[in-house]
Structure 1
């Protein structure tokens, strides 16, 4: 079964041989949740011609540049995202291949934002830079040559997204809420990042690791269908700060389901208000 939103290294190599506007722009959204930004890793090696985009600045935003909501990675306002991808040379209508180091966090956020802005000509590189490197393909080093600004235009937001109040309303209305963090974090046994452990009361747990194979890549279509079979239509998906939840939305979309609702602020936003309830255990 062909994939809807993913692209293999072999397919990318073929597309990079296309002329002019048919040649995709490779945007590398490499990001390390527990480490420095991806600029250093990008400079050490990347797909030739790729351009780095910053998850922290452009794919998320704070203060007046944020779209609303809280958490560690709030969505950027449309004009902020538009400026971020224009800076790396994206023109309207040009196909994009979104990638990262291989775990799909930055790439999935970029994929979600492009689609939310009306740009469906985007695919995600399966396995990211790790797959490119493991295939023995040429690697470019350094920060890359600054490109000429692009003319990309972000349309009105169009993908389903909720804030904390929307999550509470979804639960009250019987809508499924899915926490995609690791099970110990969901149960409140471990919390390496946020100041409060636990989960949104009423949420069920589907660890995002189940969406991936042993090689760290998204599961093939058949097994992926089985893993997400219990995710109800229109379910709200959240994680720690919205990045892994974007990965889960991507996984659902790969199975043909475009109904995954992103709680962009996720757990880091939920616990920002001490009056919101917290559950622990199963």
Structure 2
């Protein structure tokens, strides 16, 4: 009986399933500074039989200037079509990975699949760089995946909107988690968005705090300690709803509870000048 993976999968575990027809490897490598880099990285070398999902084209929706953040969620209809095109159905074990430490875009794919009701999806621990370092095979030929019918069942309880965050700010005991690096949280090094700072009352828990140089998370005890004071109903955000997904992945792996995501995040929050900033 094939083991199901719902948070992380190790390179060793993944390598044992390269020829497993029930497994689908999806590369999500992406760089904010160079949107073409990720696909080129995939075309250069990828895990054998892996397909590619682009953060901007496949895993995000249409940006509306002055309204949305930098990576708004795709519509449910377009996301369902994307997952069908990638060849995912209810029997597929998805392994999402990318090149960079922190699995930024891979965690976004993980979150989107979880949101749409697909639990058998895991992020490759250490990503492609660790996979390559361990000597596991890579391929250069692109894979054509046979489309399947993806049956989505979206759980909108995973989400909050900006108005919900405003209410959270007003509540005593609310918990909002800023997943960006601490310098951006402090407003000291805002190199991406036009306004610096953070959402009032938010607590800083950078998504990459527990990653070692190889992009691997620390032991479960450290992870549990990192989130020990974070309630299950906490709201996570980041710059555009992407790295927050990695923090949520860590939280679910540690606590077995699914917190909420403010998908618009900081880049959406600051689009409305009436919203408070700390």
For the 8 Å contact 1:178–1:238, the answer to whether it is kept is yes
- CA distance in structure 1 between the aligned counterparts of 2:154 and 2:88, rounded to whole angstroms: 18
Shift of 1:13: 1.3
Q: Secondary structure at the match of 1:249?
A: helix
Which of 149, 152, 155 is the aligned partner of 1:154? 152
2:80 is aligned to 82
Structure 2 residue runs without a partner (length 5+): none
For the 8 Å contact 1:28–1:52, the answer to whether it is kept is yes
- CA distance in structure 2 between the aligned counterparts of 1:159 and 1:253, rounded to whole angstroms: 15
Shift of 1:215: 2.3
- CA distance in structure 1 between the aligned counterparts of 2:145 and 2:92, rounded to whole angstroms: 15
- CA distance in structure 2 between the aligned counterparts of 1:145 and 1:93, rounded to whole angstroms: 20
Shift of 1:265: 0.7
For the 8 Å contact 1:88–1:149, the answer to whether it is kept is yes
Normalised by the length of structure 2, the TM-score is: 0.91
1:273 is aligned to 272
For the 8 Å contact 1:93–1:119, the answer to whether it is kept is no
2:15 is aligned to 13
Normalised by the length of structure 1, the TM-score is: 0.90
Structure 1 residue runs without a partner (length 5+): none
For the 8 Å contact 1:78–1:157, the answer to whether it is kept is no
Q: Secondary structure at the match of 2:16?
A: helix
Shift of 1:219: 2.1
For the 8 Å contact 2:88–2:147, the answer to whether it is kept is yes
Matched, 1:132 2:131: yes
- CA distance in structure 2 between the aligned counterparts of 1:10 and 1:36, rounded to whole angstroms: 30
For the 8 Å contact 2:63–2:72, the answer to whether it is kept is no
For the 8 Å contact 2:8–2:124, the answer to whether it is kept is yes
1:164 is aligned to 162
Q: Secondary structure at the match of 2:25?
A: strand
For the 8 Å contact 2:232–2:257, the answer to whether it is kept is no
- CA distance in structure 2 between the aligned counterparts of 1:78 and 1:172, rounded to whole angstroms: 31
- Structure 1 stretches of 4+ moved >6 Å: none
RMSD: 1.8
Q: Secondary structure at the match of 1:242?
A: coil
- CA distance in structure 2 between the aligned counterparts of 1:248 and 1:194, rounded to whole angstroms: 20
Q: Deviations over 1:104-161 (max 9, x none)?
A: 111111111111111111111101111111111221114x133222211221334521
Matched, 1:42 2:42: yes
For the 8 Å contact 2:50–2:143, the answer to whether it is kept is no
- CA distance in structure 1 between the aligned counterparts of 2:6 and 2:93, rounded to whole angstroms: 14
Q: Secondary structure at the match of 2:150?
A: coil
Write the mapping of 1:138-217 to structure 2, written as runs, cut at 5 A: 138-142=137-141, 144-174=142-172, 175-217=174-216
Give the length in aligned residue pairs: 269
- CA distance in structure 1 between the aligned counterparts of 2:45 and 2:113, rounded to whole angstroms: 25
Q: Secondary structure at the match of 1:132?
A: helix
